[in-house]
Chains A and B, each alone.
Chain A
Amino acid sequence: MVPLWMYLIVAAIVFCIGVYGVLSRRNAVAILMSVELMLSSVNINLIAFWRYTAPENMAGQVFAAFVFVIAAAEAAVGLAIIISIYRNRRSVIVEDVNLLRG
């Protein structure tokens, strides 16, 4: 079998790419995509641990399913928000949405 740590490394790398994307992308949709990447990496982590430590317990799969669903919902909501912002601002550049600055 493939050792666990390989899966964890992969998840970590994907996570970091996701974080990098969130922090540095200008386009809001790209940020959302990066967030999806992060969520996916978390999923990989979850499944890897489930498969390698307690495969008979369904909790792991269920947890991952939850994450999928939430990711999807969240993407929908996020896109809705972006569309709403685009309608107001004609732009999806996240830097431009800084009305809450102090």
Chain B
Amino acid sequence: MDINALLNDPNFLPWLIPVGPLLAFFIISLLTSRSKMTPATSAAYGGHHPDYDGMDVPIVTDRSRVVSIIVGMSGALSAWILSLRVVFEALAVQDFGKNVLASSLDWMDTGLTAFRMGVLVDPLTVIMLIMVPLAVTMIFIYSIGYMANDPRQARFFALISLFAGAMLTLVVADNLLLLFFGWEVMGVCSYLLIGFWFEKKSAYNAAIKAFTTTRVADVIMLLGIAYLFFSTGTLNFRDIMYNPMPGQDMAAHVEETGDHSAETAVAEGGAVVVEGEAAAAEGDHSETAAAEGEYGSEAHVITWAAHLGETPAIFFGGISAAGLIGIFLIIGTIGKSAQFPLHVWLPDAMEGPTPVSAMIHAAAMVSAGVYAVLRMYPVFEAGGHPHDGVFTSPLMLMAVVGSVTALFAATIAVAQNDVKKVLAYSTISQLGFMVAALGIGGFVAAAFHLITHAFFKALLFMASGAVIHGMEHGEHHVHAHGHSHGHDDGHAPAALPQGAGGGPLDPRLELAMDHGHGSADHGGHDAHGHALVTTHAAHDDHAEDHGHAFDPQDMMNMGGLRKTMPVTFITFLIGGMSLAGLPLITAGFWSKDEIIAEAWLGTTKGFGPHALVLICLSLAAFMTAFYTMRQLGLTFWGDNRTEEAAHANLGRGIVSVAMTLPLIILSFFAIVAGFVGVLPDFPILGGIFTPGKVAPFGALVEKALVNPVPHLSFNIIPVLISFTVALGGLFLGWLMYWRKPLTAGQKDPMITILGDSVHTTLKNKYYFDELYIMVFVKPSQWFAKNVSYEFLDKGLIDGFLHLVAAVFTFIGDLLKVLNLWLIDGVSDGIPTLIARSGKWFRGTQTGRIQQYMLFVLIAALVIGVIFAVTTGVLQAAP
């Protein structure tokens, strides 16, 4: 194969996109294993863990740090550049959507046919390829600064490279199985990354929780995939959802046209691009028309998905095969994108470093869940027509789950005090928006919100990481320079840093440690023995005054940070406004508005799910705006509530630049990304941003579907709803938290408004974690301990082994006795016999000569007699 031709073939390029980060993972893993063993109590090992006292722990060498950064960034940049190239090539394809960039190879022989795996770039992939590599690269740059002093930085870059590689694999996959591979690898990476600081018990517990919760959902998703394969014989997206179904004779069709022999366009040097279906489609259309006689009557193509929508499912007669498959696949997304009831892992996942949170919860993992449902949308829609009120079960499920989640998570976010937890619940809520939008048929709206959300959420997470970083800097500053530690304020939240004193700490070292303290606030939690940044646990002159340690993530400890961290403030503000949906100038507004518009349209037609979605999402949007304003107010406005906040800043130098540059870039996108989706008939702005008949974003995305999607037209009411909820929420937040910013020690006004019990319930996340522990975790642990361990393992298996051992021991003893008696008896008996007989014979040897003589005489006589008798001598004598 000609390498040049290959590299210029746009069909082939998508293969290379995930290769960069994956290769980076392997190279970093192999090359950067050098560490210096340092005593665990030294300052370089910032996360002091009491179990490691007296031991040496490995801290990565500087050279390994540099190598990991360089290789990691190269991987991410290569993916980004290649994605941009692929996007340009794809957008240049004629009739993009019908013609796609695709390339696949035989992966597994299955008799007459082969299961093929490959890459596909269709409109949906294009938008993901615009967003994902950009966000990932930003996160990589951010990580350079954030993890600059972490003892295991190289491992971090290896893992996020793997993560990025898996996400990109998922994005460019052309079949459900390869998507699932990427999905699962991301699940593993989430475990590894959330539990990155594995010395912390809360971190590794959170990692296990994340992995097992998503795994539960993944098993069910796999069932869906299996059923889909069983029904259709293929898992290729185009084959199932875009290409017309092969006729009755499956085998013949598959050999002629059904598989992607037309799509495998590798190696035609240089020419622009492949189509795949253009020729094959004509042929098939006519054949299916002949076979089924339906084509031509309507514009809908009979794809596998459509067919499955008419076939009843195997087990549950009431729904179609597509419905059952859809439900299973959606359950996969419910787990991966943290929808109710499998949302419990996401807030705990805040234990991981902030770049991980940004990656997992904004750009990659949760987006993967929504991307998967976007991909499989035709399967969910099959048999129904949401725009006309005919809902299939998967769509209903999505609408209900999405709206419930959106509302439910927004209510919890209102009562959280940890800056990252608010964002976590906000993520869950926004993902609920996307899923609900898809449930009511808003394919374009959901995709739009996915993209804008990724941008502003990644921005928000990274900005919050900068805030935390700054707070830790402030905390350390307060330690090291021995300021009066606010003993005298007597304010509960202004908790004292534990273990102060000692010699001057190296300022560099405390900077990047985000130990993700994992609890939302101070109220009655137990002391973090080792959770603190500081390593000098020797002196606790201050710790005994307060039962709890200083939590740099608690918003009640912040306040007034706009003065010391202005860039972070502006970018956080922009991201927050985008999240809240500040009208017209933020991307979040446009995407949210489109969802609300879809819901409104359906509600006017009287469809139930649309109404549900409208109400829940509007309320959720209102609360989103409110808690965002609350978060901004508590963190940045007003005055510093603690000494640490007064000194919070990012410092100067490469760390702060590495951390603020991505924020600036992403805030640009958080504003601008929305303008590609402005409806054409939007007053004034529609004319400016959307010259054509359809918004550019929508025009692109809807080409991914084979059946046309009805276009939204402008309606003033949903816009008014969006304006009202956004501005209303922002105003309410401003009223409560900005006009009179909270001072140190002041109680959160939400507590008084909602009442103690309601507020506590919200703060404790409706006690879902406790419920799951009681219902799932404890029984599993009981089962594991008593059944698996005691009964099965020790009882049955060990018992069986003991039994076998006992039997053989018994046989052995038996043989021993046999041995002793029989063999030893014989082999000892014979010599004994001989000895005794010898002894007896010895008796004849008396040593007395006369005795011997007597014997001789007797012998002679006997011989003489015998001689005489036998030879007859006696007779012969006359």
Q: Verify if B604 is at the interface (C-beta below 8 Å from A).
A: no
Which partner residue on chain A sits nearest B852 by CB separation?
A100
Contact of A102 among B845, B853, B854, B857 (CB under 8 A): B845
Contact (Cβ within 8 A) A98 B853: no
Which partner residue on chain B sits nearest A101 by CB separation?
B847
Q: 28 A-B pairs, CB-CB below 8 angstroms?
A: A22-B853, A23-B850, A23-B853, A23-B854, A23-B857, A24-B850, A31-B849, A31-B850, A94-B848, A94-B849, A95-B848, A97-B847, A97-B849, A98-B846, A98-B847, A98-B848, A99-B847, A100-B845, A100-B847, A101-B845, A101-B846, A101-B847, A101-B848, A102-B842, A102-B843, A102-B845, A102-B846, A102-B847
Looking at the assembled complex, report how far the CB atom of B571 sits from the nearest CB atom of chain A, in whole angstroms.
117
Bound complex: CA of A102 vs CA of B838, how far in Å?
10
Residues of A within 8 A of B845 (CB): 100-102
Interface positions of A (Cβ within 8 A of B): 19, 22-24, 31, 94-95, 97-102
Residues of A within 8 A of B857 (CB): 19, 23
Bound complex: CA of A97 vs CA of B851, how far in Å?
12
Residues of A within 8 A of B843 (CB): 102
Mask of B834-847 contacts with A, CB within 8 angstroms, 1/0: 00000000111111
Bound complex: CA of A6 vs CA of B171, how far in Å?
143
Looking at the assembled complex, report how far the CB atom of B633 sits from the nearest CB atom of chain A, in whole angstroms.
121
- The total of interchain contacts (Cβ-Cβ below 8 angstroms) comes to 33
Bound complex: CA of A97 vs CA of B853, how far in Å?
14
Residues of B within 8 A of A23 (CB): 850, 853-854, 857
Residues of A within 8 A of B849 (CB): 31, 94, 97
Looking at the assembled complex, report how far the CB atom of A21 sits from the nearest CB atom of chain B, in whole angstroms.
10
Give the 3 A-B CB pairs with smallest separation, nearest first.
A101-B847, A98-B847, A102-B845
Looking at the assembled complex, report how far the CB atom of A46 sits from the nearest CB atom of chain B, in whole angstroms.
18
Bound complex: CA of A22 vs CA of B857, how far in Å?
11
Q: A95-B848, A102-B843 are in contact. List 11 more A-B contacts (CB 8 A).
A: A19-B857, A23-B854, A23-B857, A24-B850, A94-B848, A94-B849, A94-B850, A100-B847, A101-B845, A101-B848, A102-B842
Looking at the assembled complex, report how far the CB atom of B510 sits from the nearest CB atom of chain A, in whole angstroms.
101
Residues of B within 8 A of A19 (CB): 857
Bound complex: CA of A102 vs CA of B848, how far in Å?
11
Bound complex: CA of A71 vs CA of B651, how far in Å?
137
Bound complex: CA of A3 vs CA of B853, how far in Å?
32
Which partner residue on chain B sits nearest A24 by CB separation?
B850
In B803-851, the 8 Å CB interface with A consists of 842-850
Residues of B within 8 A of A100 (CB): 845, 847
Which partner residue on chain A sits nearest B844 by CB separation?
A102
Which partner residue on chain B sits nearest A28 by CB separation?
B849
Looking at the assembled complex, report how far the CB atom of B873 sits from the nearest CB atom of chain A, in whole angstroms.
16
Mask of B370-404 contacts with A, CB within 8 angstroms, 1/0: 00000000000000000000000000000000000
Bound complex: CA of A97 vs CA of B849, how far in Å?
8
Looking at the assembled complex, report how far the CB atom of B441 sits from the nearest CB atom of chain A, in whole angstroms.
120
Residues of B within 8 A of A102 (CB): 842-847
Looking at the assembled complex, report how far the CB atom of B839 sits from the nearest CB atom of chain A, in whole angstroms.
9
Residues of A within 8 A of B842 (CB): 102
Residues of A within 8 A of B853 (CB): 22-23
Bound complex: CA of A97 vs CA of B846, how far in Å?
10
Most B-side CB within 10 Å, residue of A22, A31, A95, A102: A102
Bound complex: CA of A99 vs CA of B844, how far in Å?
14
Looking at the assembled complex, report how far the CB atom of B876 sits from the nearest CB atom of chain A, in whole angstroms.
16
Bound complex: CA of A10 vs CA of B241, how far in Å?
144
Which partner residue on chain A sits nearest B846 by CB separation?
A101
Residues of B within 8 A of A31 (CB): 849-850
Bound complex: CA of A24 vs CA of B854, how far in Å?
10
Which partner residue on chain B sits nearest A99 by CB separation?
B847
Contact (Cβ within 8 A) B847 A22: no
Bound complex: CA of A50 vs CA of B753, how far in Å?
162
Residues of B within 8 A of A94 (CB): 848-850
Residues of B within 8 A of A98 (CB): 846-848
Bound complex: CA of A22 vs CA of B847, how far in Å?
15
Residues of B within 8 A of A22 (CB): 850, 853
Looking at the assembled complex, report how far the CB atom of A65 sits from the nearest CB atom of chain B, in whole angstroms.
25
Bound complex: CA of A48 vs CA of B846, how far in Å?
39
Residues of B within 8 A of A24 (CB): 850
Bound complex: CA of A23 vs CA of B842, how far in Å?
21
Which partner residue on chain B sits nearest A98 by CB separation?
B847
Bound complex: CA of A98 vs CA of B854, how far in Å?
16
